[in-house]
Amino acid sequence: MKTSTPASKAADTEILPFRIAIPQADLDDLQYRLSRTRWPDVLPGAGWKYGVSLTYVKELATYWQNEYDWRKYETRLNEFPQFTTTIDGAHVHFLHVRSPEPDALPLILTHGWPSSIVEFLDLIGPLTDPRAHGGDPANAFHLVIPSVPGFGFSGSTLEAGWNITRIAKAWAELMKRLGYEKYGAHGSDCGALVSREMGIQKPDGLLGIHVLQLFSFPSGDPAEMADLSADDMGRLQFLADFHERAGFNAIQQTRPQTLTYGLTDSPAGQLAWIAELFNGFGDHVDFVNRDAFLTNVMLYWLTNTAESSTRLYYENAHNSEQTEQGPNTTPTGVAVFGYDFKSMKRFAERDNTSIVQWSEFERGTHFAAMDAPDLLVPDLQTFFRRFR
């Protein structure tokens, strides 16, 4: 007997076209709020010592209010095909940019916090159409760039429990739904955790993963610390310094909702909170293009996703499955950038048993896709060439 798919089930798996169209009233409200910002008093000469520099935030907020043009970047985003679908009850927005090269390799790119799909805009052209950018067409990719559930145009309506384990399963479903039988995954920050988790889960069709960070640290076993090089000790000190200043991590893992009343009500507050990590706590200010940075901030502000996005940290910290801690045996590539905290190969190889490419660069930050795409693009091409 022939059966049919229930209408509700079909609707759940439907892929719908999407276009960004922010109401002018939302932009006017932003302008009003920026004009009425109540600034804190800070210690003279405080700079970045106690948090984001007041001088920096005031200057950037003034630029945001008077010079930044959202409509210009809305138009740029709308140049790329966008879609939405529902996966495991979550609304998922994504860019799907197919290469003109018929044999291109599908690749899913995952951002983290406080980033968004904006992180990958400068990768799209060189990766999907290398021929047009002076490269080898054999290196082309079909790109799938989702907004993580709870981020950006995926929206703020999100039930509890969306951690990296669940996101990795959703991405496997998304690639299957798009008809991709073989594909790769790349990610940075939380996106690196999602990509590694996909490597652990090993969904059908996943060929390999490429990440900017592997969060593998000393276990406390003294034997692991034996014979560490001066370079390794420097990396550990950098990591210790990072954690000493990473207050966002502790807050978002424990009380994200309390934080987000301020972020949701004040654009200057949202700006400052995101600027902290983008500027390396003041160690590398304005390495990311100012307009690109503000476009990223706009995706948080306009979609009212401060709460749902920061909640990802809480969900990861309270993830009962914890499969992300297991060994990753999927072929893995790692790109370590000069102004990011540097993954340590000794510990990375302990937790990821099939690292086949390890690259290190003197420049580039935690958001290398935005400030060092010329380095990241060829590294991605080199890593995934082995699977073509």
pLDDT value at residue 5: 38
Report all structural domains of the chain as residue ranges with CATH numbers, in order of start: 17-217+243-385 (3.40.50.1820)
All residues at 6 or more sequence positions from 133 whose CB lies less than 8 Å from its CB, including other chains: 125, 126
Distance CA 290, CA 205 (A): 38
Task: Reduce the secondary structure of 89-102 to three states and give it as a string.
Answer: CEEEEEEEECCCCC
CA dihedral 29, 35, 39, 44 (to 10 degrees): 140
pLDDT value at residue 158: 94
Whether the upstream peptide bond of residue 114 has omega within 30° of 0, thus cis, is: yes
pLDDT value at residue 2: 34
pLDDT value at residue 4: 36
Q: What is the pLDDT of residues 121-133, one digit of tens each?
A: 999 999 999 999 9
Whether residue 206 contacts residue 172, with contact meaning beta carbons closer than 8 Å, is answered with: yes
pLDDT value at residue 245: 85
For the whole model, what pTM was predicted? 0.94
Distance CA 42, CA 151 (A): 31
**C-alpha distances out from residue 122 to 136, 141, 292, 375, Å:** 18, 14, 10, 12
Distance CA 204, CA 219 (A): 32
Strands (DSSP E) contained in the chain are: 16-18, 82-87, 90-97, 105-110, 141-146, 183-187, 206-211, 332-336, 355-360
Positions of the chain with pLDDT lower than 50, given as ranges: 1-10, 324
Q: Is 189 left (phi over 0), alpha (psi -120 to 50) or beta?
A: left
pLDDT value at residue 7: 43
Give the number of other Cβ atoms within 10 Å of residue 172's Cβ. 21
Whether residue 294 contacts residue 237, with contact meaning beta carbons closer than 8 Å, is answered with: no
In the structure encoding, which two tokens stand for residue 100, read together? 């003109």
Q: Is 321 left (phi over 0), alpha (psi -120 to 50) or beta?
A: alpha
